[in-house]
Amino acid sequence: MSHTSSRALDGPARRAHRIVLAVLGGTAAGVVVLDQLTKAWALADLRPRIQSGEGPIYLIDPLLRLTYVENTGAAFGMGTGYTWIFTIVAIIVGAVIIRFSRTITSPAWALALGGLLGGLLGNLIDRLIRPPGPGLGYVVDFIGLPNFPVFNVADIAITCSAIGMVFLAWRGVPLAGEAELEAGDKAENDDESETRGSGS
């Protein structure tokens, strides 16, 4: 009886996990697509404008401008000149997120980690395909604020995801949802009860 119960409990957990994987993968893919599309637009329209001396586009003067910068550092221009290090770090962190995705059942954590993964991949693509060569390429930045480094959509995703992860950790939200944890505990208790019953 307990084995049947365990299988019944596993079914909803598997479905929940598939939903979480869809959230994580969909968020990451959405960030990458939006990031690369906006960078392509910056290369096509903003770079010629800046190179010609026409200057940036001010959306809210002087608070928000669209410009063009080739960044060889990390997010917001930090660590300029260490592109290869950030390439390696992005690959490692991305691999860790993908590995952890097999155990995540919390949609909130999936959303945060998906945003982080998408942001890392968005900038990693730049570093792999742009001059001067694979792993050393510059990252396209184009969003400017007063007295702040120029950034891009991937940087926004990374920052928002990091803030979200800190908030989730502070609130004590587990990577695995409470419902799935309770289901797993109940199934384990049922199995132990059956073992004791068989032994007597």
How confident is the model over 55-95, as pLDDT tens digits? 999 999 999 999 999 988 655 555 556 667 878 888 999 99
Annotated catalytic residue, options 126, 155, 185, 190 = 155
pTM value? 0.79
**Predicted local confidence at residue 100, as pLDDT:** 83
How confident is the model over 91-105, as pLDDT tens digits? 999 999 988 888 888
Asked whether residue 33 carries a pLDDT value surpassing 60, the answer given is yes
In sequence order, the 6+-apart residues with CB closer than 8 A to the CB of 120 are 90, 93, 94, 154, 158
Cα(52)–Cα(37) distance, integer angstroms? 23
**Predicted local confidence at residue 117, as pLDDT:** 96
Whether 141 sits among the annotated catalytic residues: the reply is yes
Max Cα-Cα span within the chain: 87
Asked whether residue 184 carries a pLDDT value surpassing 60, the answer given is no
Whether 155 sits among the annotated catalytic residues: the reply is yes
Asked whether residue 182 carries a pLDDT value surpassing 60, the answer given is no
Structure tokens at 51: 């190179």
Cα(176)–Cα(149) distance, integer angstroms? 36
Annotated catalytic residue, options 35, 141, 190, 191 = 141
Name the residue ranges covered by the structural domains of the chain. 2-199
**Predicted local confidence at residue 104, as pLDDT:** 87
Asked whether residue 165 carries a pLDDT value surpassing 80, the answer given is yes
